[in-house]
Amino acid sequence: MDGEMTTLRRLEAEGAAALDMAGIGEARLDAHRLLLAAFGLDETHYLLERMQPVGLNVSAEADPRDSTNRYREMISRRALRIPLQQILGEQEFMGLTFYINAHTLIPRQDTETLVELVLSEQKDRGGRLLDLCTGSGCIAVSLAAKGGYTDVTATDLSSEALAVAERNARMLLAESGWRIVSDDSDLVPDAGLPPEAGRTGPAPAKGIFRLFRGDLFTALPRGPRYDIIVSNPPYIPTAMIGGLQPEVRDHEPRMALDGAEDGLAFYRRIAAQAPEWMNPGGAIYLEIGCDQAAAVSALLAEAGFADIEVFNDLAGLNRVVRALHRTGCPETVGL
Protein backbone atom coordinates (compact mmCIF):
# COMPACT_ATOMS: atom_id res chain seq x y z
CA MET A 1 0.00 0.00 0.00
CA ASP A 2 1.47 3.36 -1.06
CA GLY A 3 2.07 5.34 2.17
CA GLU A 4 1.23 8.72 0.56
CA MET A 5 -2.11 7.42 -0.70
CA THR A 6 -3.05 5.66 2.50
CA THR A 7 -5.99 7.21 4.34
CA LEU A 8 -7.04 6.76 7.94
CA ARG A 9 -10.07 4.88 6.72
CA ARG A 10 -7.97 2.45 4.69
CA LEU A 11 -5.59 1.94 7.62
CA GLU A 12 -8.52 1.23 9.90
CA ALA A 13 -9.95 -1.30 7.45
CA GLU A 14 -6.53 -2.95 7.12
CA GLY A 15 -6.26 -3.27 10.89
CA ALA A 16 -9.81 -4.52 11.31
CA ALA A 17 -9.22 -7.24 8.71
CA ALA A 18 -6.08 -8.39 10.51
CA LEU A 19 -7.87 -8.51 13.84
CA ASP A 20 -10.84 -10.31 12.34
CA MET A 21 -8.52 -13.00 10.98
CA ALA A 22 -7.03 -13.33 14.49
CA GLY A 23 -10.47 -14.04 15.93
CA ILE A 24 -10.98 -10.73 17.73
CA GLY A 25 -14.69 -10.34 18.39
CA GLU A 26 -14.83 -6.54 18.13
CA ALA A 27 -12.20 -6.20 15.43
CA ARG A 28 -13.42 -2.96 13.87
CA LEU A 29 -13.96 -1.22 17.20
CA ASP A 30 -10.52 -2.24 18.46
CA ALA A 31 -8.88 -1.16 15.20
CA HIS A 32 -10.61 2.21 15.47
CA ARG A 33 -9.48 2.81 19.06
CA LEU A 34 -5.91 1.84 18.22
CA LEU A 35 -5.91 4.14 15.20
CA LEU A 36 -7.01 7.13 17.28
CA ALA A 37 -4.33 6.37 19.87
CA ALA A 38 -1.56 5.89 17.31
CA PHE A 39 -2.32 9.16 15.54
CA GLY A 40 -3.31 11.16 18.63
CA LEU A 41 -6.73 11.99 17.19
CA ASP A 42 -10.14 12.48 18.72
CA GLU A 43 -13.36 11.35 17.06
CA THR A 44 -14.11 14.74 15.55
CA HIS A 45 -10.79 15.05 13.75
CA TYR A 46 -10.96 11.45 12.63
CA LEU A 47 -14.33 12.10 10.98
CA LEU A 48 -13.03 15.25 9.33
CA GLU A 49 -9.81 13.71 8.03
CA ARG A 50 -10.47 10.01 7.54
CA MET A 51 -10.61 10.26 3.72
CA GLN A 52 -7.47 12.40 3.31
CA PRO A 53 -4.04 10.91 2.59
CA VAL A 54 -2.32 10.25 5.89
CA GLY A 55 0.42 12.79 5.22
CA LEU A 56 -2.21 15.57 5.10
CA ASN A 57 -3.75 14.81 8.50
CA VAL A 58 -2.78 18.09 10.10
CA SER A 59 -4.42 17.20 13.44
CA ALA A 60 -2.16 14.21 14.07
CA GLU A 61 0.30 14.68 16.92
CA ALA A 62 3.26 12.83 15.38
CA ASP A 63 4.98 12.20 12.06
CA PRO A 64 2.47 10.27 9.92
CA ARG A 65 5.02 7.58 9.05
CA ASP A 66 5.80 7.03 12.72
CA SER A 67 2.10 6.95 13.54
CA THR A 68 1.39 4.47 10.75
CA ASN A 69 4.17 2.17 11.92
CA ARG A 70 3.00 2.49 15.50
CA TYR A 71 -0.55 1.64 14.49
CA ARG A 72 0.50 -1.47 12.62
CA GLU A 73 2.66 -2.56 15.54
CA MET A 74 -0.32 -2.10 17.89
CA ILE A 75 -2.52 -4.13 15.55
CA SER A 76 0.10 -6.91 15.52
CA ARG A 77 0.11 -6.99 19.33
CA ARG A 78 -3.68 -7.08 19.49
CA ALA A 79 -3.70 -9.92 16.96
CA LEU A 80 -1.60 -11.88 19.48
CA ARG A 81 -4.58 -11.45 21.86
CA ILE A 82 -2.82 -8.94 24.08
CA PRO A 83 -5.70 -7.01 25.70
CA LEU A 84 -6.61 -3.71 24.11
CA GLN A 85 -6.38 -1.98 27.49
CA GLN A 86 -2.79 -3.13 28.01
CA ILE A 87 -1.82 -1.84 24.58
CA LEU A 88 -3.46 1.52 25.23
CA GLY A 89 -2.19 1.57 28.82
CA GLU A 90 -5.51 2.67 30.26
CA GLN A 91 -9.06 1.69 31.12
CA GLU A 92 -12.05 3.72 32.21
CA PHE A 93 -13.72 2.76 35.48
CA MET A 94 -16.37 4.74 37.35
CA GLY A 95 -15.80 7.63 34.96
CA LEU A 96 -12.09 7.77 35.81
CA THR A 97 -9.19 6.80 33.56
CA PHE A 98 -6.85 4.28 35.21
CA TYR A 99 -3.33 3.40 34.15
CA ILE A 100 -3.11 -0.30 33.26
CA ASN A 101 -0.30 -2.74 32.56
CA ALA A 102 0.19 -6.51 32.56
CA HIS A 103 0.68 -6.69 36.34
CA THR A 104 -2.96 -6.15 37.33
CA LEU A 105 -6.41 -7.23 36.32
CA ILE A 106 -8.11 -4.89 33.88
CA PRO A 107 -10.91 -3.02 35.71
CA ARG A 108 -14.29 -4.28 34.58
CA GLN A 109 -17.77 -2.82 34.62
CA ASP A 110 -18.96 -5.70 36.84
CA THR A 111 -16.78 -4.35 39.64
CA GLU A 112 -18.52 -0.97 39.45
CA THR A 113 -21.46 -2.76 41.09
CA LEU A 114 -19.41 -3.05 44.30
CA VAL A 115 -18.24 0.55 44.23
CA GLU A 116 -21.72 1.91 43.57
CA LEU A 117 -23.18 -0.21 46.37
CA VAL A 118 -20.66 1.09 48.89
CA LEU A 119 -21.30 4.66 47.80
CA SER A 120 -25.06 4.22 48.19
CA GLU A 121 -24.94 2.51 51.59
CA GLN A 122 -21.96 4.05 53.39
CA LYS A 123 -22.78 7.71 53.93
CA ASP A 124 -20.36 8.30 56.83
CA ARG A 125 -17.21 9.39 55.04
CA GLY A 126 -15.12 9.61 58.21
CA GLY A 127 -14.59 5.90 58.86
CA ARG A 128 -11.64 3.75 57.86
CA LEU A 129 -11.93 1.91 54.54
CA LEU A 130 -9.78 -1.07 53.54
CA ASP A 131 -9.41 -2.61 50.07
CA LEU A 132 -7.77 -6.05 49.99
CA CYS A 133 -6.20 -7.34 46.74
CA THR A 134 -6.36 -3.84 45.31
CA GLY A 135 -4.60 -4.58 41.98
CA SER A 136 -4.83 -1.42 39.89
CA GLY A 137 -6.42 0.36 42.84
CA CYS A 138 -9.61 0.93 40.86
CA ILE A 139 -11.94 0.17 43.80
CA ALA A 140 -10.05 2.06 46.49
CA VAL A 141 -9.20 5.07 44.33
CA SER A 142 -12.76 5.31 42.98
CA LEU A 143 -14.21 5.22 46.48
CA ALA A 144 -11.79 7.90 47.60
CA ALA A 145 -12.44 10.09 44.57
CA LYS A 146 -16.19 9.58 44.28
CA GLY A 147 -17.14 8.95 47.89
CA GLY A 148 -14.93 11.34 49.75
CA TYR A 149 -13.92 8.78 52.37
CA THR A 150 -11.08 10.41 54.26
CA ASP A 151 -9.07 7.35 55.37
CA VAL A 152 -8.50 4.71 52.67
CA THR A 153 -6.05 1.80 52.80
CA ALA A 154 -5.19 -0.54 49.91
CA THR A 155 -3.14 -3.75 50.05
CA ASP A 156 -1.75 -6.21 47.56
CA LEU A 157 0.76 -9.05 47.66
CA SER A 158 2.28 -8.05 44.32
CA SER A 159 4.75 -5.16 44.47
CA GLU A 160 4.23 -4.59 40.73
CA ALA A 161 0.46 -4.30 41.20
CA LEU A 162 0.91 -2.02 44.18
CA ALA A 163 3.11 0.26 42.07
CA VAL A 164 0.24 0.54 39.57
CA ALA A 165 -2.21 1.34 42.37
CA GLU A 166 0.20 3.95 43.75
CA ARG A 167 0.54 5.55 40.31
CA ASN A 168 -3.24 5.71 39.92
CA ALA A 169 -3.69 7.17 43.39
CA ARG A 170 -1.16 9.90 42.67
CA MET A 171 -2.63 10.60 39.26
CA LEU A 172 -6.28 10.71 40.36
CA LEU A 173 -6.14 11.84 44.00
CA ALA A 174 -2.94 13.71 44.83
CA GLU A 175 -3.72 16.82 42.81
CA SER A 176 -7.06 17.21 44.58
CA GLY A 177 -5.46 17.29 48.00
CA TRP A 178 -5.07 13.65 49.01
CA ARG A 179 -1.90 12.51 50.73
CA ILE A 180 -0.51 9.26 49.30
CA VAL A 181 1.79 7.19 51.52
CA SER A 182 3.20 3.69 51.19
CA ASP A 183 5.19 1.19 53.24
CA ASP A 184 7.17 0.12 50.17
CA SER A 185 10.43 2.05 49.80
CA ASP A 186 10.41 1.27 46.10
CA LEU A 187 7.23 3.28 45.65
CA VAL A 188 7.61 6.56 47.53
CA PRO A 189 10.66 8.48 48.81
CA ASP A 190 9.47 8.83 52.43
CA ALA A 191 8.41 5.21 52.85
CA GLY A 192 11.00 4.66 55.57
CA LEU A 193 8.71 6.56 57.92
CA PRO A 194 6.25 4.52 60.02
CA PRO A 195 3.20 3.84 57.84
CA GLU A 196 0.56 4.40 60.51
CA ALA A 197 2.19 6.97 62.79
CA GLY A 198 5.03 9.40 62.54
CA ARG A 199 3.52 11.50 59.76
CA THR A 200 3.68 15.15 60.66
CA GLY A 201 2.24 18.31 59.26
CA PRO A 202 -1.31 19.54 58.68
CA ALA A 203 -4.08 17.13 57.81
CA PRO A 204 -4.64 16.80 54.06
CA ALA A 205 -7.53 18.69 52.55
CA LYS A 206 -9.23 15.54 51.28
CA GLY A 207 -7.83 12.58 53.18
CA ILE A 208 -5.05 10.03 53.35
CA PHE A 209 -4.54 7.08 51.02
CA ARG A 210 -2.22 4.33 52.29
CA LEU A 211 -0.72 1.43 50.40
CA PHE A 212 0.68 -1.69 52.08
CA ARG A 213 2.32 -4.70 50.48
CA GLY A 214 1.54 -8.13 51.84
CA ASP A 215 -0.80 -11.11 51.98
CA LEU A 216 -4.30 -9.88 52.91
CA PHE A 217 -4.42 -8.68 56.53
CA THR A 218 -0.77 -9.54 57.19
CA ALA A 219 0.13 -6.45 55.16
CA LEU A 220 -1.41 -4.15 57.76
CA PRO A 221 0.13 -2.52 60.84
CA ARG A 222 -1.25 -3.69 64.17
CA GLY A 223 -3.81 -1.54 65.90
CA PRO A 224 -6.35 0.11 63.60
CA ARG A 225 -9.71 -1.42 62.80
CA TYR A 226 -11.85 -0.68 59.79
CA ASP A 227 -15.45 0.38 59.23
CA ILE A 228 -15.62 -0.78 55.61
CA ILE A 229 -13.74 -3.67 54.00
CA VAL A 230 -13.97 -4.26 50.27
CA SER A 231 -12.30 -6.83 48.05
CA ASN A 232 -12.32 -8.31 44.58
CA PRO A 233 -10.08 -11.30 45.36
CA PRO A 234 -8.98 -14.09 43.00
CA TYR A 235 -12.03 -16.34 42.65
CA ILE A 236 -11.72 -18.47 39.53
CA PRO A 237 -11.27 -22.21 40.23
CA THR A 238 -7.86 -23.35 39.06
CA ALA A 239 -9.22 -25.90 36.60
CA MET A 240 -11.31 -23.24 34.85
CA ILE A 241 -8.45 -20.85 34.08
CA GLY A 242 -7.35 -22.83 31.02
CA GLY A 243 -10.76 -22.27 29.43
CA LEU A 244 -10.73 -18.50 29.74
CA GLN A 245 -10.32 -16.16 26.78
CA PRO A 246 -6.66 -15.86 25.68
CA GLU A 247 -6.63 -12.19 26.68
CA VAL A 248 -7.35 -13.19 30.28
CA ARG A 249 -5.66 -16.59 30.48
CA ASP A 250 -2.38 -15.58 28.85
CA HIS A 251 -2.02 -11.88 29.60
CA GLU A 252 -3.61 -11.03 32.94
CA PRO A 253 -1.73 -12.06 36.11
CA ARG A 254 -2.63 -15.58 37.20
CA MET A 255 -2.18 -14.70 40.86
CA ALA A 256 -5.06 -12.23 40.49
CA LEU A 257 -7.30 -14.89 38.94
CA ASP A 258 -6.61 -18.18 40.70
CA GLY A 259 -8.89 -18.85 43.67
CA ALA A 260 -7.52 -22.39 44.17
CA GLU A 261 -9.43 -25.62 43.62
CA ASP A 262 -12.96 -24.35 44.28
CA GLY A 263 -12.35 -20.63 43.84
CA LEU A 264 -13.12 -19.92 47.49
CA ALA A 265 -9.67 -19.92 49.10
CA PHE A 266 -9.46 -16.15 49.56
CA TYR A 267 -13.06 -15.85 50.76
CA ARG A 268 -12.37 -18.39 53.51
CA ARG A 269 -9.40 -16.42 54.76
CA ILE A 270 -11.07 -13.03 54.48
CA ALA A 271 -14.26 -14.18 56.22
CA ALA A 272 -12.34 -15.85 59.06
CA GLN A 273 -9.90 -13.01 59.69
CA ALA A 274 -11.97 -9.91 58.94
CA PRO A 275 -13.92 -9.72 62.25
CA GLU A 276 -10.82 -8.97 64.32
CA TRP A 277 -9.93 -6.12 61.97
CA MET A 278 -13.40 -4.49 61.96
CA ASN A 279 -15.26 -2.08 64.16
CA PRO A 280 -18.68 -3.27 65.41
CA GLY A 281 -21.29 -2.38 62.84
CA GLY A 282 -18.72 -2.36 60.06
CA ALA A 283 -19.61 -3.68 56.62
CA ILE A 284 -17.77 -6.00 54.26
CA TYR A 285 -18.34 -6.06 50.48
CA LEU A 286 -16.95 -8.92 48.38
CA GLU A 287 -17.12 -9.28 44.62
CA ILE A 288 -17.91 -12.88 43.67
CA GLY A 289 -18.27 -15.14 40.70
CA CYS A 290 -21.89 -15.41 39.60
CA ASP A 291 -22.23 -18.95 41.01
CA GLN A 292 -20.53 -18.30 44.36
CA ALA A 293 -23.18 -16.33 46.27
CA ALA A 294 -24.41 -19.18 48.46
CA ALA A 295 -20.92 -20.44 49.33
CA VAL A 296 -19.52 -17.00 50.19
CA SER A 297 -22.64 -16.09 52.18
CA ALA A 298 -22.25 -19.29 54.19
CA LEU A 299 -18.60 -18.48 54.95
CA LEU A 300 -19.57 -15.03 56.22
CA ALA A 301 -22.39 -16.44 58.33
CA GLU A 302 -20.04 -18.99 59.86
CA ALA A 303 -17.65 -16.16 60.77
CA GLY A 304 -20.43 -14.37 62.66
CA PHE A 305 -21.51 -11.78 60.11
CA ALA A 306 -25.16 -10.72 59.96
CA ASP A 307 -27.53 -9.07 57.46
CA ILE A 308 -25.90 -10.94 54.60
CA GLU A 309 -27.28 -9.91 51.22
CA VAL A 310 -26.42 -10.63 47.58
CA PHE A 311 -26.56 -7.94 44.90
CA ASN A 312 -26.68 -8.34 41.12
CA ASP A 313 -24.72 -6.61 38.40
CA LEU A 314 -26.28 -4.91 35.38
CA ALA A 315 -26.56 -8.27 33.62
CA GLY A 316 -28.69 -9.60 36.47
CA LEU A 317 -25.97 -11.94 37.75
CA ASN A 318 -24.92 -12.33 41.38
CA ARG A 319 -21.90 -10.06 41.78
CA VAL A 320 -21.49 -8.73 45.36
CA VAL A 321 -22.08 -10.17 48.82
CA ARG A 322 -22.48 -7.61 51.60
CA ALA A 323 -22.49 -8.43 55.32
CA LEU A 324 -22.34 -6.54 58.62
CA HIS A 325 -20.08 -7.17 61.59
CA ARG A 326 -22.21 -7.03 64.73
CA THR A 327 -19.91 -8.27 67.49
CA GLY A 328 -17.21 -6.43 69.37
CA CYS A 329 -13.47 -6.87 68.87
CA PRO A 330 -10.45 -6.59 71.17
CA GLU A 331 -9.25 -3.05 71.68
CA THR A 332 -6.05 -3.82 69.76
CA VAL A 333 -5.96 -6.13 66.79
CA GLY A 334 -3.73 -9.17 67.12
CA LEU A 335 -3.24 -9.02 70.90
The pLDDT tens digits of the residues spanning 252-270 come to 999 999 899 999 999 999 9
CB 264 within 8 A of CB 292: yes
Give me the pLDDT at residue 62, please: 58
Contacts of 133 (CB under 8 A, 6+ apart): 155, 156, 157, 216, 231, 232, 233, 234, 256, 266
Sign of the Cα pseudo-torsion (317, 268, 333, 187, in order): negative
CA quadruple 29, 31, 32, 37: dihedral positive or negative? positive
The answer to whether 136 touches 98, Cβ cutoff 8 Å, is yes
pTM: 0.86
pLDDT range class, residue 57, cuts 50, 70, 90: low
What digits encode the pLDDT tens for the residues 284-303? 999 999 999 999 999 999 99
Please, where are the H alpha helices in 82-208? Answer: 84-88, 109-121, 138-147, 159-172
How many residues does this entry show for the chain?
A: 335
- The 8 Å CB, 24+ separation contacts for 188-197 are 194/221, 195/221, 196/221, 196/223, 196/224
State pLDDT tens for residues 87-128. 999 999 999 999 999 999 999 999 999 999 999 999 988 899
For CATH 3.40.50.150, the residue range(s) in the chain are: 91-325
**In terms of CATH architecture, what is 91-325?**
3-Layer(aba) Sandwich (3.40)
| DSSP H/E element including 66 | helix 64-79
- Share of residues in the chain with pLDDT > 90 (%): 74
pLDDT at 242 exceeding the cut of 80: yes
